[in-house]
Amino acid sequence: MRNLRVALIEDETMFRQLILLTLGKVKGITVVGEFGLGKPGLDFCLKDKPDMLVVDLMLPDMNGLDIAREVRRALPDMKILVITAHPSERLPAELMAIGVNGYVDKTEPIEYVLSAVETVRAGGMFFASKVRAKGGGRPGLVAPPKPLDVPLTEREQEIAKLVAAGQMSKEIAAQLNLSVRTVEKHRANIMEKVGVREVASLTRWCISVGLVDT
């Protein structure tokens, strides 16, 4: 896997240094720009085009969502990870609508940021927070409110739920009265549409869009 060039925009100096220290220990990851304000960080991204942007949601001069929108519009292939101390139930849906690849609650252990970077780097999605979803679920990945704009057919949603529940293609085929080959084809289409490569990331995606409960 080639070297990952990361830009970091975080106004809290201690937290920024903690992220820098954590990412600096990982082989193949280089922080090529660090900023305490949004505008210079955004300008850097648009000019130097790093592989990934890690950006705080609340900055003194700009909103992280606005930065993410600008980056996604100009650089559709750049990976974007949002970090925030102010998670909400609606945030995952808002971020996914923009095209953000993941977000992490700052109150989580710093290792979550590293896990998120590695997951997004590999083509997956990472949405983690301690906010409780409506209905009293346990703290964990946050499901946005319905209705949802899910890019899957009803059959694909059905299969995605079963995959996320840990069922194998043979089991799914038997349950839905389909051939294993058909299930495998659906699984491949689901992964491509969602933009993930492994079951763990698909499960996180299903939770984040409300297809399955936490």
Global model pTM greater than 0.85:
no
Q: What structural domains and CATH numbers belong to the chain?
A: 4-128 (3.40.50.2300), 154-208 (1.10.10.10)
- Written as tens digits, the pLDDT of the chain (214 aa) is 578 999 999 999 999 999 999 888 888 999 999 999 999 999 999 999 999 999 999 999 999 999 999 999 999 899 999 998 877 777 777 887 788 888 888 888 888 888 888 888 888 778 775 443 334 433 334 333 333 456 788 888 899 989 888 889 999 999 999 999 999 999 988 888 877 777 877 887 787 777 776 5
- Report the SS3 class of residue 198: coil
**Beta-strand pair 4-9/52-56:** parallel
Q: Are 147 and 97 in contact (CB under 8 A)?
A: no
